[in-house]
Homo-oligomer: A and B are copies of this chain.
């Protein structure tokens, strides 16, 4: 009942291991008759080649690593769905790693990747810090594709959305709706998308001559309880913002909770907009205005990029940006 291998097939058929191997890979130097016999038996015994022996021999693993900060965020769930849709068709396995937004964890994950995977798709934990771990991987001929959170310090394919532009538009939307004091709530300014979204938001505020308390930034963390207190403090202050733009959906949910607890009404007291891919956004109380990223498509594009690299045996990828636009969906929260 143990795993059937070439040796067993060969023995059963009175052939050599090499003949069986070639028959299964359809080599033209094997007679049709032998091929038939071999394939029939292989099918019958449900022969599956040992992936580790293959990897050891070919130095290809038919596996890629996907490194993301967390899973309980619809963006990442959808992105992985997209990645999987491409990769499973191409016969690749997906090794999933969570960095939990921790740079150290990310480094130790990346350092163990060589020999284990053919390529890496990564959404970075933090990006302002050094990227020597990724550079080392690239020097070892493992192609890397960034998605969503990217680093400009490494030349490779980057699949992103138009964060600056979308954030600008979302902010303009808040302004149109009459917001006087707009606050941008960031998750971590070590994250490229966070920076860009803030940049787009502040640019709009500057263009419309918002200054001082009309134009604020609050830095949150990865701890939900802490964030709750920070946002509560912000919304309890004497000249509190009347509009909030949060970087990620988790912060918007916290903002909703704070508003509920403080008795602030959305949108009359506070307008809220966020980047999010939550399917239930339209059903919140009130329905939440979102900038919706094409998460599934981003995953697909990133997967396709790494696949192209692997198929063409290209180690050095073009320093190319693939930009898939986000959509502003206006709802009752603004």
Contact = CB atoms under 8 A, between A and B. Distances in A.
Interface of A: 1-3, 46, 48, 50-53, 55-56, 61, 70-72, 74, 77-78, 80-81, 84, 88, 93-98, 111-112, 114-116, 136, 139-141, 250, 253, 256-257, 260, 278-280, 282-287
A96 B96 contact: yes
A115 B48 contact: yes
A278 B96 CA distance: 22
Chain B CB count within 10 A is highest, among A94, A96, A140, for: A96
Copies of this chain, count = 2
Contact of A3 (B3, B94, B115): B115
B72 A77 contact: yes
Contact of A61 (B52, B84, B112, B256): B52
A76 to B, nearest CB: 8
Nearest to A63: B95
B115 A51 contact: yes
A114 B56 contact: no
9 contacts: A48-B115, A71-B78, A72-B74, A84-B98, A88-B97, A93-B95, A253-B280, A253-B283, A285-B286
Contact of A280 (B3, B53, B278): B278
Contacts of A52: 51-53, 55-56, 61, 115-116
